[in-house]
Amino acid sequence: MHTETKPISADAAAPVAGQPTSAVPGGRTPLIARGFLLTFVMVTSLFFLWAFPNTFNDVLIKQFIKSLELSEGQTGFLPFALKTGYFFLAIPAGLFMQRWGYKNGILAGLVLFAAGCFLFYPAAHSREFSIFLGGIFVMAGGCAFLEIGANSFVVNLGHKDTSERRLNLAQSFNPIGGITAAALGTVFIFSGIEPKDHTVAIWKNTPAVEVYQAVQASGGAANAKAYFTEEFFKEHPRLGTKNLSPVGDPSKKIEAVPVPIGDKLDAELTAWGQFFGRERTPEELARWRSAGNGRGATAYEAFVEAENLRVFPTYVTLGALVVLMALVMWRAPFPEIAAPAKGSSDPGAPKGSFRGLLRYPHWWGAIVSQFFYLGAQLGTWSFLINYVKDNTGLGEKQAGAILVVNMVVFMVGRFLSTYLMKFVRPQRLMGAYACINITLVSVAILGSKWAAVRYGSPLHGWAVSLPFGLLDEPLPVGIFALVATTLFMSLMYPTNFASGMKGLGPNAKLGASILVMSLIGGAVLSAVMGVIWGSQWAQLPHGAKAVAPALVVPIVSYCVIAWYAFLGSRPRGPIYD
Q: What is the Cα–Cα distance from 279 to 271, expressed in whole angstroms?
A: 15
Q: What is the Cα–Cα distance from 125 to 120, expressed in whole angstroms?
A: 9
Task: Give residue 13's pLDDT.
Answer: 34
392 φ, ψ to 5°? -145, 175
CA-wise closest residue to 116 among 146, 74, 150? 146
Task: Give residue 430's pLDDT.
Answer: 97
Least confident of 12-26, 200-214, 412-426, 529-543: 12-26
pLDDT in tens, 384-400: 988 998 898 887 788 88
pLDDT in tens, 113-143: 999 999 999 999 999 999 999 999 999 999 9
Task: Give residue 337's pLDDT.
Answer: 62
Task: Give residue 373's pLDDT.
Answer: 96
Which tops the pLDDT comparison, 248 or 74? 74
Task: Give residue 499's pLDDT.
Answer: 92
CB-count exposure of residue 242 (10 Å: 0-12, 13-18, 19+): exposed
**Neighbour count for residue 22 (Cβ, 10 Å):** 9
Which tops the pLDDT comparison, 201 or 263? 201
Average pLDDT taken over every residue of the chain: 83
Indicate the angle between helix axes 361-382 and 384-391, nearest 10 degrees.
40
336 φ, ψ to 5°? -95, 135
**Neighbour count for residue 451 (Cβ, 10 Å):** 20
pLDDT band for 244, please (50, 70, 90 cuts).
very low
Which tops the pLDDT comparison, 24 or 291? 291
For residue 541, pLDDT beyond 90: no
pLDDT in tens, 161-184: 787 788 888 888 888 898 899 889
pLDDT in tens, 484-520: 999 999 999 989 988 998 888 788 778 888 888 888 8
Contact 463, 476 (CB under 8 A): yes
Q: Which CATH number applies to 37-190+311-463+472-568: 3.40.190.10, 3.10.310.10, 3.40.50.720, 1.20.1250.20?
A: 1.20.1250.20
Which tops the pLDDT comparison, 269 or 209? 209
Indicate the angle between helix axes 396-420 and 384-391, nearest 10 degrees.
130
The ranges assigned to domains in the chain are 37-190+311-463+472-568, 197-306
Task: Give residue 10's pLDDT.
Answer: 31
In sequence order, which residues have a C-beta less than 8 Å from that of residue 540 and are 6 or more positions away?
A: 449, 450, 453, 546
Q: What is the Cα–Cα distance from 448 to 451, expressed in whole angstroms?
A: 5
| Percent of the chain at pLDDT exceeding 70 | 85
User: Positive or negative, the Cα torsion across 353, 356, 362, 365?
Assistant: positive
